[in-house]
Structure 1
Amino acid sequence: MTLEQLKTLVTIADAGGVLAASEILHKTQPTVSVAIRKLEEELGVQILSRDSYRATLTPAGESLCQQARLVLIQSEKFSELAKHLAQGNEPEVRIAIEASCPMPLVLEILSRCEKKFPGTQFNLMGDTLWGALERLESGEADLAISPWFEENPAFETRPLSTSRLITVAAPQFLERFGKEVLDLSDLTESVQVVVRDSSRNPREQSFGFMAEGRHWYVTDHLTKKEILLAGMGWGRLHAHLIEEDLRTGRLVPLVIRNYARVMEIKICVARMREKLVGPVAQALWEDFSNSPPEIWRGPFVL
C-alpha cells in the first residue's frame, strides 16, 4: 500500500468516478483502475463496485476512503514537519505582546530561551487589547501574550498570569468630590481615560467603559497611567503596572456604587492550534507551558 494509491482512492471519491479521477491525476484510466485493483488485492477488500457503467465505492471502500483521508493529512503534516526540522532553527521568532502584560515574567522566559538559541532573533510587537491575538490569527506572529477575553478554538493557550484591573485615580482627583464613595453620576463630567484597541477590527468597549461620560483616548497603558497620576482623570489599570503607586498613595482605588472596583483577568500565551512551528518557537512554548502561573495579590486588602 502506497500513499499514491490512497491519493488515487480519495480522488476517485471526490471526482465521482475513475475517468474523472484519471483526468485530475493526469493518468490514463487503465492506470488508475490497475492501482485500485492492486490495492484491493493487497487488502483483501473490494473497494469499487463495477456492476454499473460508472464504478462507485462500495461501503467498505467508503470506510477505507475516510481513513485514507486521515492518513494523507498526517502524511502532509509529517512532510511539513520534516521540512521545518531540516531547515534548522528559525532566524526569527515573532511574539505579539499586549502592552499590559507583565514584562518581567515574559523577559525571564525569553532570556532562558535566548541563551539556548543565540542565533535566533526575537521580534517583539507591542499591541493593546485585541491587537496581539489578531496578529497571531493573521499569521503576523508565532506566539501571542495577551489578556484572555473569550474562548477561541483556533488558539492553543497556556495560563501565564492572573492580574487585576483596578479602578483608580490620584488622591487630588478624589478630593474634588468631598466624599469617599462615589456614584456613577458624579463622574459624568470627569474624564475617563481609555486605551484604544490596536486591532484592525476594534471590538466594542468593555472593562468598565462608561458610555455617557467624557473620554480621553490613548494608545498605551503607561500614558494612561501618567494622566491618572496627574489627577486629570480616572480609569482601570492592571495592578502590576501600579503596584508602587498604590503602595505610596500616588494612586488610590475608587469606590463607586454599582461599579466593580476590581476585575480579575487571566493572561495567557497563545499559538495557532493547527500551525506547525519551528524548534525555537516550540522550545519557547514549552518554557511558557512549564512556568507556573503567577498571581498578583497587591499591597492592599480588597
Structure 2
Amino acid sequence: MKIDQVLTLIHVVEAGSISAASTVLNKSQPAISMTIKRLEETVGITLFNRNGYRLELTEKGQIYYQKCKLIVDQINQLNSYSDSLKRGEEHEVVISIEDSANVDPLLSSLKEVQSSFPNTQFKLHSETQLKSFQRLNKEEVQLAFTPWLPTFAAEGDFESKHVSNLEISFCIHRSLLAQVNVTDANDIDQSVLSKLPQVVPSDFAIDLNKDVLMKPIGRSLLKVNGYQTCVAAIHAQLGWGPIIKNMWSKALTEDFVSFQIEKDSTPICAEIRVVKNRKTILGPAANKIWSMF
C-alpha cells in the first residue's frame, strides 16, 4: 500500500466518482481506476460496489476509508507540526498561575493564542504561596500570573506587566460574630476578633511582610497553604481571614461580613501581573501571550 493509493481512494470517495476525482487530481480516469484496483489487490478486499451507476463503498471499504482518513489527517498534522518547528514555534509553553490570581484574563488571551499556534501545547500549573517565583528563577516556566508587590522585584531578574488590580480585605461569617454577641459590622475590632479563630496563610515561598495578612490576632490560628483552602475554611466557619474582593464578590452574600481590622484603614491593594524571567527569550506563542498585556 502506498500513500498515493490512499489519497486516491479518499479523493474518489469525496468527489463521488472517478470522473470527478480525475479533475481534482489532474489524472486520467483509467489511471485512477488502476490505482484503486491495485489498492484492492494489496489489501485483499473489494472497496467499491460496481454494480450501480455510482461507485459505493462496501461495508469493509467504508471502514477502510475511515481509517485512511485518520492516517492522512495524522500525516497532515505531522507536516504542520514540522513546519511550525521550522518557524521556531515552541513545542510547549508552561505557565504558572497562583491560586490567588484571577485566571480569566489569561484564559481569554490563551484562546486566541491557541488558534494562532495550534501545534503548541500549553501547560497551566496552579501554584500557592508565591511558588511561581521559584519556578521562574529555575526557568521551569516561561510565564507566571501572580500577585505582585514592588518588593518582589528583589526575588529575581524579573520583568512584569500589569494584568489587573488586587484588593484584599477580611471576611467573617455572621454566625461566628453571633458567638461573641456582635451583629453589626461596625462593631468589629481587634478585641472582638481576638475572641474568634483566625484563618491565616502559612509561610510563603519568598520574603513577605507577613504581618499584613498573618498578624496573629485570633484566639487560635488555622494555617492554610493556598487561597482556595482559605476561602473554603472561611465558608466552613472555621475562622475569619483574608479575601480577595474581585474574586469573591459573588460569594459575599448576606451570611458574610467584609471588614478592615483597623477602622480607618483601606483595603490592602496590590496587582496581578504577568511575570517572566528577564534572561529567558520567549518563543512566538509565549511572546504573543506576553504582548497581550
**Structure 1 counterpart of 2:235, from 222, 229, 232:** 229
Instruction: Write the distance in 1 (CA, Å) between the matches of 2:109 and 2:223.
Output: 32
- Give the structure 1 partner of residue 257 of structure 2: 252
**Structure 1 position 218 matched with structure 2 position 224:** yes
Alignment deviations for residues 105-154 of structure 1 (CA, whole Å, 9 cap, x no partner) = 22111111111112111111111232112211221110111111225161
Deviation at 1:242, TM superposition (A): 1.4
Alignment deviations for residues 148-206 of structure 1 (CA, whole Å, 9 cap, x no partner) = 1225161111100002111101111122222332332332342211233463x665524
| Cα contact 2:260–2:267 (8 A) shared by 1 | no
The total of aligned residue pairs comes to 203
Q: Segments of 4+ in structure 1 off by > 3 A?
A: 201-204, 255-261
**Structure 1 counterpart of 2:190, from 164, 167, 184:** 184
**Structure 1 counterpart of 2:166, from 147, 163, 169:** 163
Give me the TM-score of the superposition, normalised by structure 2: 0.63
**Structure 1 position 205 matched with structure 2 position 210:** yes
Give me the TM-score of the superposition, normalised by structure 1: 0.61
Larger Rg: 2
- Give the structure 2 partner of residue 96 of structure 1: 96
Deviation at 1:254, TM superposition (A): 2.7
Root mean square deviation of aligned Cα? 2.4
- Give the structure 2 partner of residue 119 of structure 1: 119
The percentage of counterpart residues that share the same residue type is 27
Distance 1:261 1:191, change over 3 A: farther
| Cα contact 2:97–2:125 (8 A) shared by 1 | yes
- Give the structure 2 partner of residue 29 of structure 1: none
**Structure 1 position 272 matched with structure 2 position 273:** no
Equivalent residue of 2:268, what SS?
strand
- Unpaired segments of 5 or more residues in structure 2? 1-84
| Cα contact 2:117–2:285 (8 A) shared by 1 | yes
Deviation at 1:258, TM superposition (A): 5.6
Instruction: Write the distance in 1 (CA, Å) between the matches of 2:254 and 2:136.
Output: 38
Instruction: Write the distance in 2 (CA, Å) between the matches of 1:281 and 1:197.
Output: 30
**Structure 1 position 138 matched with structure 2 position 144:** no
- Give the structure 1 partner of residue 175 of structure 2: 172
Equivalent residue of 1:207, what SS?
helix
| Cα contact 1:169–1:234 (8 A) shared by 2 | yes
Supply the AA of the counterpart residue of 1:102: N
Instruction: Write the distance in 2 (CA, Å) between the matches of 1:227 and 1:284.
Output: 34
Distance 1:260 1:209, change over 3 A: farther
Supply the AA of the counterpart residue of 2:290: W
| Cα contact 1:128–1:195 (8 A) shared by 2 | no
| Cα contact 1:197–1:203 (8 A) shared by 2 | no
- Unpaired segments of 5 or more residues in structure 1? 1-84, 290-302
Supply the AA of the counterpart residue of 1:230: A
Deviation at 1:211, TM superposition (A): 2.7
Alignment deviations for residues 226-264 of structure 1 (CA, whole Å, 9 cap, x no partner) = 221222200111112311122x32321135346846211
| Cα contact 1:144–1:270 (8 A) shared by 2 | yes
